[in-house]
Amino acid sequence: MKRQLPKRHDLAPLLKFKKPELSPKRRRLEKALTIEDLRRVAKRRTPKAAFDYTDGAADGEVSLARARQAFGDVEFVPSILRDVSEVDTSREVLGRVSALPFGIAPTGFTRMMQTEGEIAGATAAAAAGIPFALSTMGTTSIEDVAAAAPAGRNWFQLYMWKDRERSMALVDRAAAAGYDTLLVTVDVPVAGARLRDVRNGMTIPPTLTPRTVVNAIPRPAWWINFLTTEPLAFASLDSWSGTVADLLDTMFDPTVTFDDLAWIRQQWPGKVVVKGVQNVADARRLADAGVDAVLLSNHGGRQLDRAPIPFHLLPQVVKEVGADVEVHLDTGIMSGQDIVAAVAHGAHFTLIGRAYLYGLMAGGREGVDRAIEILTGQVERTMRLLGVRSLDELEPGHVTMLERLGPRT
């Protein structure tokens, strides 16, 4: 083999150095290639009580594990030799176009995770052209979210309180602020047994204990932000000095029925989505009642442990009511592949909760942007690899469900 010294012009293309990124935050976010990567960053940077509030679920956390495993048990069936140079990820959702087949789900106590809270989520969603849902348990007011993202599409999530007048006052404020969709959450007659929160002494505001202080030492940025910004509180509620579970049990109403839902429907001028549907019969009854969409959800596994897996329930509900109402889905989504699988399985739209919060905890608004960017790239790449150019081309034939959990006959 003949050898020679390399020439300068041959070496030049091989010796291109990446421009160094001086921002530690941007370096962290650039290295995060998946939502799980963002989760690991979030865990390092967030005190245990706040992280566990996001990361945890009810009782033995079986529902959450099963929901994620259901997506892991998907086998895709790609088609080849298709022109996928361009893919369209947009979809009309409740009368308006969303640039992507997912939006940001309502999450409570969000500024506890990272001080930018709901503002980061709403502005990132607006920039991406997707909906953002504000929770009744949000830590930024209805009006402040609307002001921060005036061009965004904002939804409001409602828990029915025992005090109906206070509930409807929130609904009126959301309508006045331009929110176009109401997500009525119906799976919280009482709080789920969120054992991580109990063990961590999760209170409002956070309780300082020796263990809390020790856990905070390696996370000074979180504490500096927490102590030097507006005091944490639920923006839609009066002050509260107990645990999160105590607040939920005090506020939520176990007497809510379909009649209450009809009463809400009469007073809300926009679209109505019912969140927390977990069986076909309830989906049918809601469709007959005239709601605009049903959202299959077991509350991210945070309410009834061992509840039905929304992704497994999806085909039955779509078959029953898909021609009458939009069928949306959340719980367990951690990747763009999960979103594509849900759409192929019949979901009209999906919502992400923890995936967005991991980005928020990892890097504030930039972290939320990164989470959306990761999911977008995964959605687009999966569509191309399946050989589809639009969401409407996705169909059940693109997905095989590998059997792991199923009812015993």
Neighbours of 68 (CB within 10 A): 20
- Which residue type sits at 152? G
d(CA 346, CA 324): 13
312 given a catalytic annotation: no
- Which residue type sits at 335? S
Are 158 and 170 contacting, i.e. CB atoms less than 8 angstroms apart? yes
Catalytically annotated residue among 299, 328, 345, 398 = 299
Are 179 and 146 contacting, i.e. CB atoms less than 8 angstroms apart? yes
Give me 118's structure tokens.
């709901």
Q: Which residue has the tokens 């034939």?
A: 397
Task: Provide DSSP, 6-75.
Answer: PPHHHHGGG-PPPPPP--HHHHHHHH--SHHHHHHHHHHHS-HHHHHHHH--STT-HHHHHHHHHHHTEE
Neighbours of 281 (CB within 10 A): 9
Are 398 and 386 contacting, i.e. CB atoms less than 8 angstroms apart? yes
What are the C-alpha distances in Å from 216 to residues 44, 54, 219? 11, 17, 5
- Which residue type sits at 365? R
* CA 242-136-110 angle, 5° bins: 70
How do strand 181-185 and strand 271-277 relate by DSSP bridges? Answer: parallel
DSSP single-letter state for residue 159? P
Are 318 and 348 contacting, i.e. CB atoms less than 8 angstroms apart? no
- Which residue type sits at 104? I
DSSP single-letter state for residue 294? E
Strand partners, 203: 243
- Residues annotated as catalytic are 299
